[in-house]
Amino acid sequence: MKPSVLLAALLLLPASVASAGPALPYSNVTHSTAPHSTVSQRNSTTAAAAAGAAPSWQWPLAPRPPVLRGFDPPPKPWLSGHRGVDLGFGAPGAPVVSPAAGTVSFAGVVVDRPVITIDHGGGLRSSFEPVDSTVAVGQAVAPGQVVGTVLPGHCAAAQCLHWGVRDGDEYVNPLQFVLDLRPSVLLPLPGPP
């Protein structure tokens, strides 16, 4: 097989097959000065993202918020890390909306922070904190439906909402559901045969 044909075939494979490294570049979407993790791919993508699916959820805050701190999971589940993203917002009381259809599976306090968790089906669950809930456990929510309002207290230097997503027992990057984080692929120019 010609090298150019082999290269083209390799570049057309999904990033999850073609690359041994993480398929989602955390550094392209964060404004954090924290070091970036070299976590294995299983911690950074869901099956949908690995297959090259386009994002299908909406942002939980409007207008589109800045990402103040990106997804930086630990290499082992018991170590410290950042298992979600911190989204900036203008002022406390900003409405938080469900990014996708689901059912509220938790609305209460964890340690000292009010949290809302929405089960989106297929093993996917979103959690938001700190949020004053306007929904009850068991309530079905539609995409874009207000589920609560942001409270101050998560980020010390700025006001933010923490958004985490789990796929089964694994934390995954929430941004893959609202942004196309697939790597850009440059194909070679056609040349002489």
Count of CB atoms situated within 10 Å of the CB of 192: 3
pLDDT for res 160: 87
pLDDT tens digits along 123-164: 999 999 999 999 999 999 999 999 999 988 777 666 889 999
Give yes or no for a contact between 87 and 130, defined as CB atoms under 8 angstroms apart.
Answer: no
Q: Where are the domains of the chain?
A: 3-177
> Which CATH architecture group holds 3-177?
Distorted Sandwich (2.70)
pLDDT for res 157: 64
pLDDT for res 185: 79
pLDDT tens digits along 7-44: 333 333 333 333 333 333 333 333 333 333 333 333 33
Q: Could you give the percent of the chain with pLDDT greater than 70?
A: 69
pLDDT at 4 over 60: no
Spatial CA neighbour of 159 closest among 68, 76, 85: 68
């630990």: which residue's tokens?
A: 74
pLDDT for res 16: 31
Spatial CA neighbour of 31 closest among 75, 71, 79: 71
pLDDT at 53 over 60: no
Q: Model's pTM, two decimal places?
A: 0.67
Once rounded to an integer, what is the mean pLDDT over residues 90-96? 83
